[in-house]
Amino acid sequence: MWILVIGREGIEERDGSAVGCLHELGCEVQTATLWDRLDTEELVKSPPAAVLIEAGDEADAGRAALVRVRAAEPL
């Protein structure tokens, strides 16, 4: 099981991000940017247990990422 965190460029490098907190809790985490494709073969074959969208003040980008998550199968 793993968690997909979708956020701005460099999300895995920011202090205090959800990615860092999840790693500290022992979770397996993968990241994607707000604009990455979410229907890749890798994600379809092994979907995440949970998806977290960390959009900050980019509400429109966060909504667009959520639309792509909902459209991806079987995510």
Please give the tally of structural domains in the chain. Answer: 1
| CB contact set of 73 (below 8 Å; sequence gap of 6+) | 39, 44
Is 70 exceeded by the pLDDT of residue 64? Answer: yes
- The helix (H) or strand (E) run that includes residue 20 is helix 18-24
pLDDT tens by residue, 23-34? 999 999 999 988
Selected residue with higher pLDDT from 51 and 37: 51
Q: The pTM is what?
A: 0.83
Strand segments, DSSP code E, in 1-75 are 3-7, 29-33, 50-54
Q: Which domain holds residue 33?
A: 3-71
Q: Cβ distance 4 to 51 under 8 Å?
A: yes
pLDDT tens by residue, 2-26? 999 998 888 777 667 789 889 999 9
- Tell me what pLDDT residue 49 has: 94
Rounded to whole angstroms, what are the CA distances from 18 to 22, 28, 38, 42, 60? 6, 12, 19, 22, 19
- Tell me what pLDDT residue 53 has: 92
